[in-house]
Structure 1
Amino acid sequence: MTDVATGPKPGRGETPLGRIVRDFARSKIAVASLAIFVLLILLAVFAPLVAPQNPYDLAQLSILDGMLPPGSESFEGMVYWLGTDDQGRDMLSAILYGLRVSLGVGVSSTVIALAIGIVAGLTAAYFGGKVDSLVMRVVDLQLGFPSILLALILLAILGKGVDKVVIALVAVQWAYYARTIRGAALVERKREYIEAATCLGLDHRRIVLGHLMPNCLPPLIVVATVQVAHAIALEATLSFLGVGVPVTEPSLGMLIANGFDYLLSGHMWISIYPGIALVITIVSINLVGDQLRDVLNPRLQR
């Protein structure tokens, strides 16, 4: 039987984690997207091992191999399955290395912003009053600026670099998490178990970390998953505009920018293939986040 208000009933003896896995596995698209995302992570982590060449090692490059179309063979007998760019770099290898930078920036910025947002949101919701008003005014002020504009201003001040991009993305993202967890915490703050913990004389740290925060995490997990994709897309936009990562540490966005000037000359593979990799990455993350939203919020299920 299915309860309209609470969703599918868990099986007898089934743990909450087991129910989440079972409900998530009901969507074949979500499972396939998760498999693709895990594969992309593995390819990024082990890029030095699986890439045919190190595209940024000058000793492995030959200018004679520049602008070769997909499927071409080099003078040394190496097959460039996705072609080469103007410097003779293997595009498949460049995409794997670029994926490494893009995922690293997206995940690291999301984790840091999530930690800051959790602290700010829980503090505002738990203590309320002037603390809540002060934190939320800062959040409203930050959310009042477009993300891309704020990131551009920060990078204009900080300069290029992977660490600079991470700082800019953290500054852009943390307010989303703070507002999300504050809303969930305000609801949980009025529950009986919080009042009971307060009456028992538990200190604030134990109440917030041991009781309040665990019950506010489900909606935050969904937001964080979607924000990873948003961070990757934003970083790609910044790199395409020339203010993101440097040329020596290129991301997928930088690879797209490098081939943009050659689109009209017929060498479209230099931009097209990194663009396809970027789209697959973002779409797979978003599909996983959509299914997590349905699983963690039973009211959205039929």
Structure 2
Amino acid sequence: MPTNARTHRTAWQVFTRMARRQPLGVAGGFIVLLMIIMAVFADYIAPHDPTAMNYSAFAVAPGAEYWLGTDPLGRDVFSRIVYGARTALFVGFVSALIGGGAGLVLGVGSAYFGGLVDLIFQRVMDIFMSFPLIIMALAMVAIFGTGTDKVIVAITIPFVPRCARVVRSSALAVREMPYVDAARSIGYSHSRIILRHMVPNVMAPFLIMITAFVGQAILLEASLSYLGLGVQEPTPAWGLMLQGGAELYAESAPWIAVFPGLAITLAVFGFNLFGDAVRDTLDPRLRSQ
């Protein structure tokens, strides 16, 4: 059998096996993949300019020209949802990666040094974690202001202590491993031990946290935008679509709120399902079951 055919057959077997064992995870991965395709190829998928206003098409119902209808300013809802996926994924991935990466280093460093450093660090993390995510995000927006870049900062900061706390619990066990003691004994620097020997061994919980953070970041961005504190016009964003008079047209033009709300729900649902599948795959106890 040719090598390419054998490779394709093996990949298909892996996919079918995963589909049988993790059907919801595959469904979540499909939703995530669909979002990525929408974001990357938005220029080719969207039939209209998402920021172009057409007052002659005021709140038009879904039809052949406007597949999901138009909003109160005559903008195509489908095109704005497609471009809104780009905004949601950009904010979600950047916030999750920066916040998770900072939490990873801080959590491993806290576990490695221990003692007074760990005690002070954990008390600071307790202070940050005592506030709900949305309250922390609102506080950060009040400090840094609105806009896409400011929203990323506002969402990133609350993620740091949550990731650090989870990673620290795994790093405490890694710190006691013989190879860490061996690295100390031969004179490796603290930074080398942390980055080369400890961080790679706590990547499983880190990856799980990242997938969960992306969904949470998308929801937080939509919430802040709905309140007028997040992404600002004319940038297409799902939260802004809900804010733009959708509640005033709940009966006469329900599609203005239904489709953006459905997009947010599916995005968060997809990342949560995919994150659960990643957790089940990387956790040896769940994998053995």
Q: TM-score by structure 2 length?
A: 0.90
Q: Give the Cα–Cα distance (whole angstroms) in 2 for the partners of residues 135 and 46 of structure 1.
A: 43
Task: Indicate the larger mover: 23-32 or 109-118.
Answer: 23-32
- In the alignment, which of 56, 68, 72 is matched to residue 60 of structure 2? 68
Matches of 1:194 and 1:154 in 2, distance apart?
38
**Following superposition, which runs of at least 4 residues in structure 1 exceed 4 angstroms of deviation?**
18-25
Partners of 1:20 and 1:296 within 8 A in 2 = no
1:103 equivalent in structure 2: 89
Aligned with 1:80: secondary structure? coil
> Which of 14, 17, 39 in structure 2 is aligned with 1:44?
39
- Out of 102, 108, 112, the position equivalent to 1:116 is 102
Q: Verify the 8 A CA contact 1:20 1:295 in the aligned structure 2.
A: no
Instruction: Determine the C-alpha separation between the residues in 1 that align with 2:105 and 2:14.
Output: 29
Q: CA deviation at 1:259?
A: 4.1
Deviation at 1:158, TM superposition (A): 2.1
Query: How far does residue 54 in structure 1 lie from its aligned partner after superposition?
Result: 1.4
Q: Distance in 2 between matches of 1:103 and 1:262?
A: 28
Report the equivalent of 1:289. Answer: 275
User: Which residue is equivalent to 1:139?
Assistant: 125
In structure 2, relative to structure 1, the CA distance for the partners of 1:262 and 1:226 (3 Å cut) is same
Please tell me whether residue 27 in structure 1 is matched to residue 22 in structure 2.
yes
The question of 1:262 aligning with 2:257 is answered no
Give the whole-Å Cα distance in 2 for the aligned partners of 1:202 and 1:134. 25
Which position in structure 1 is the counterpart of 2:202?
Answer: 216
**Aligned-partner SS, 1:262:** helix
- Residue 22 of structure 1 and its aligned partner are, at CA, apart by 6.0
The structure with more helix, counted as a fraction of residues: 2
Q: How many residues align?
A: 276
Q: Deviations over 1:68-126 (max 9, x none)?
A: 10115xxxxxx111011111111100101111111111111111101211121111111
Q: 1:237 is paired with a residue of what secondary structure? A: helix
Distance 1:265 1:44 in 2: 30
Secondary structure of the residue that 2:44 maps to in structure 1? helix
Q: Gaps spanning 5+ residues in structure 2: where?
A: 1-12
- Candidates 167, 173, 176, aligned match of 2:162: 176
Distance in 1, Cα, partners of 2:111 & 2:14: 30
Pairwise CA distance, 1:23: 5.3
Tell me, yes or no, if the aligned pair for 2:100 and 2:209 is still in contact at 8 Å: no
Superposition RMSD in Å: 2.0
Q: 1:247, CA displacement in angstroms?
A: 1.8
Relative to structure 2, which stretch is displaced further, 194-203 or 167-176? 194-203
Deviations 1:156-181 (A, max 9, x none): 23221001110110111111111111
Name the counterpart of 2:266: 280
Q: Distance in 1 between matches of 2:124 and 2:266?
A: 35
State the SS of the aligned residue for 2:248.
coil
Change (3 A) 1:62 1:213: same
The AA in structure 1 aligned to 2:42 is A
Q: Tell me, yes or no, if structure 1 residue 242 matches structure 2 residue 228.
A: yes
Q: How far 1:204 moved relative to its partner?
A: 1.9
Give me the whole-angstrom Cα distance separating, in 1, the residues matched to 2:207 and 2:182.
27
Query: Quick one: distance in 1 between partners of 2:161 and 2:233?
Result: 30
For the 8 Å contact 1:105–1:232, the answer to whether it is kept is: yes
Question: Distance in 1 between the 2:207 and 2:16 partners?
Answer: 15
1:154-207 per-position Cα deviation (integer Å, ceiling 9, x unaligned):
212322100111011011111111111111110110111211222222222222
The 2-side partners of 1:264 and 1:297 are apart by 44
Q: 1:84 aligns with which of 46, 63, 70?
A: 70
* Counterpart for residue 7 of structure 1: none
**Equivalent position amino acid for 1:169 in 2:** I
Cα distance, 1:127 vs. partner? Answer: 1.0
Matched, 1:298 2:280: no
